[in-house]
Amino acid sequence: MSSQTKVVTNYCLPKPRPAYLPIEGSALYANRDFYDKIAETAVNNKRKLTYKNVCPIRSGLAWKVPAGSVCRIVTIEGPQVCDLNIWNAHNPRERMWASRTRQLHSCHVSVYDRLWSTLPYLRPLVTITGDSLKDRGQDEWGGRVHDLMGTRCDPYVDKLLSGVDNDFHCHSNLTRAIMPHGLTEFDVHDVLNVFQLTGTNEYDQYFMEPCPAKKGDYFEFFAEIDLLCAISTCPGGSLKDWGWGEGDENASSGDMLDSCRPLGVEVYTITDDEILKNWKSPEPVDYKGNHGLKLAPH
């Protein structure tokens, strides 16, 4: 369940009861007071810009975020969705686990939710600290932004559906972006669709609606460990004209290129040492069961 609707007592739980409920003191729920202080550094001059870049339209960008830093993705010119991948900067086998995050929090994430890593690590890679769409990122059908339900567009499913080879999908953009960091297509994983508005219809089918973001909207997170991040500025742009294939004849209306915009990426360090004084990177879950395997005696 989402930490945005965290409950304290069992009788407050929504129906049906969420499947994943933590024990008291679990790392599932973020310390709101601490992460509020992180967010407030944006307005009280307690952060310093250390990295800034622009991801062009229909392209990819990869960058590193040191532990204890804040990363912000910005719609610098207007609505544009992007696909986000995250890895441990020192061990790409540890990477964001979209499906487990979806189970632990919700299908759409926002402030105080955390993005969790794959097994055998299972720790928060980031905690979301800022989301300018959190109060207006929902449509009349119950769709919401920042989606963990779908995954990246890719040339394989496009060929399956359109019969055409197209090279500038989010999967391909992410592949190109991470290659200078020694990663390959096999390291690209299921994504968080930032700024993307999605839901399920009455037949439980996945739908996508136009991005509600405006110029200057942002999605921000705190790095719990050293990270390698990558985004793709989706070739569908704001998704108002999306379709399979890249030309007018395949789009639902108009040309998708007309709705494509670049995105900005910013990384900040926290300059107030007092805020991070008692913080430390989370450790992987301390499971020692060895999956029930018994070691032979010497």
Domain, as residue range, for 219: 48-271
In a domain, 284, yes or no: no
pLDDT of residue 249: 42
pTM assigned to the model = 0.90
Asked whether the predicted pLDDT for residue 20 surpasses 90, the reply is no
pLDDT band at 12 (very low <50, low <70, confident <90, very high): low
**Residue 86: which of 108, 105, 71 has the closest Cα?**
71
**Residue 138: which of 110, 112, 97, 102 has the closest Cα?**
110
Q: What is the pLDDT of residues 180-220, one digit of tens each?
A: 999 999 999 999 999 999 998 889 999 999 999 999 999 99
In a domain, 34, yes or no: no
pLDDT of residue 296: 66
Task: List the beta strands (DSSP E) in the chain.
Answer: 47-55, 60-65, 69-74, 82-88, 91-95, 114-116, 124-131, 192-194, 197-200, 206-209, 218-223, 227-233, 263-270
CA 289 – CA 292 distance, rounded (Å):
6
Which letter, b or e, does each residue of 127-136 get, where b requires 16 or more Cβ atoms within 10 Å of its Cβ?
A: bbbbbbbbee
Whole-number percent of the chain with pLDDT over 90: 70
In a domain, 80, yes or no: yes
Asked whether the predicted pLDDT for residue 254 surpasses 70, the reply is no
In a domain, 26, yes or no: no
In a domain, 15, yes or no: no
**Residue 55: which of 230, 178, 220 has the closest Cα?**
230
Tokens 């394989």: give the residue: 156
CA 197 – CA 143 distance, rounded (Å):
6
CA 155 – CA 176 distance, rounded (Å):
13
CA 210 – CA 222 distance, rounded (Å):
27
In a domain, 214, yes or no: yes
Whole-number percent of the chain with pLDDT over 70: 89
Peptide bond just before 79 cis, omega within 30 deg: no
Say if CB 209 and CB 139 are below 8 A apart.
yes
In a domain, 204, yes or no: yes
pLDDT band at 2 (very low <50, low <70, confident <90, very high): very low
Mean of the pLDDT values across residues 21-39?
89
In a domain, 73, yes or no: yes
In the chain, how many domains are there?
1
Say if CB 161 and CB 148 are below 8 A apart.
no
Q: What is the DSSP letter of 290?
A: G
The one-letter amino acid code at 136 reads R
CA dihedral for 60, 63, 67, 73, sign (positive or negative): negative
The one-letter amino acid code at 90 reads H
